[in-house]
Amino acid sequence: MKKLRLGRRILPLYSLLALVYLLIPIAYTIAFSFNNSKGRTNTTWQGFTFSKWGDVCNQAGICEAFGNSLFIGAVSTLVATVLGTAIAIALVRYRFKFRSLVSLSLFLPMATPEVVMGAGLAALFFNLGAEQGFATIIISHVMFCLSFVVVTVKARVQTLDPVLEEAGRDLYANPAQVFWRITFPLLLPGIVSAALLSFALSFDDFIITYFNAGPVTTFPLLIYVAASKGVPAETNVIASGVFLLAIFTVIGTQIASNARARRHAKFN
């Protein structure tokens, strides 16, 4: 009993320490986004200011790199989500030759170190004579994110009740109507989750992008280059904004989900 009580006391303390440890870099980033730094040096505290938040694009290349990351992430997410959703449905609903091999091979990009994938793709593009740029980055990100989309959507497809689709067919709905009016709405939460995960992986990726970017500079590449002199405060502003946006999105989604659950419970 004493060990059990001791464990109950230690576990919350351990969880609190782990949370603080994880939040220290984020707190540092947010704090130094208000640093009144001069030029590109942002390693020492020089005073509090809101000016960095009011003129984020003051430093050359920061907004361009951020825009490049947004564009690459959006396109990669769209392509990976569409292809991954189709592959997930095919793997769950249909039986075809080498189905098990295809399912197993989809896990290889998840298990392969990014440096190996990045170097391999760079060698492939070089042998094909492809010029590195936006196209090579997007292709690389799609290949990297596709497995995560398939795994996420596949789990959602496996939970669907086929009876619902059979009911639609019994009511003389054609396959397209069954998919868009029954299957797709039921899959939408899983698809959205997969798309958000894919965008986060693409936006945050450095290693694969580094090998295949060519002259294109993304936000992670910009931070890597600037890290030797201290990441500019404007970069901290963008990073803080992305973090706060993600937090508000999660909170809003959770509130909406709880509201829907309460409405369903009321009707039931």
48 three-state secondary structure: strand
What's the mean pLDDT when you consider all of the chain?
84
Confidence category of residue 30, pLDDT binned at 50, 70, 90 = confident
If one compares 261 and 194, the residue with the highest pLDDT of the two is 194
Residues 60-77: tens digit of each pLDDT: 788 888 999 999 999 999
Amino acid at site 148: F
First to last CA, the chain: 42
User: Quick one: average pLDDT of 6-19?
Assistant: 80
In this predicted structure, the answer to whether residue 103 has a pLDDT above a threshold of 90 is: no
pTM of the model: 0.82
User: Quick one: average pLDDT of 106-135?
Assistant: 89
DSSP 160: -
Q: Which CATH class is domain 60-267?
A: mainly alpha
Q: How far is CA 257 from CA 80, 156, 209, in A?
A: 26, 17, 35
In this predicted structure, the answer to whether residue 40 has a pLDDT above a threshold of 80 is: no
Domain ranges of the chain: 1-32, 60-267
In this predicted structure, the answer to whether residue 173 has a pLDDT above a threshold of 60 is: yes
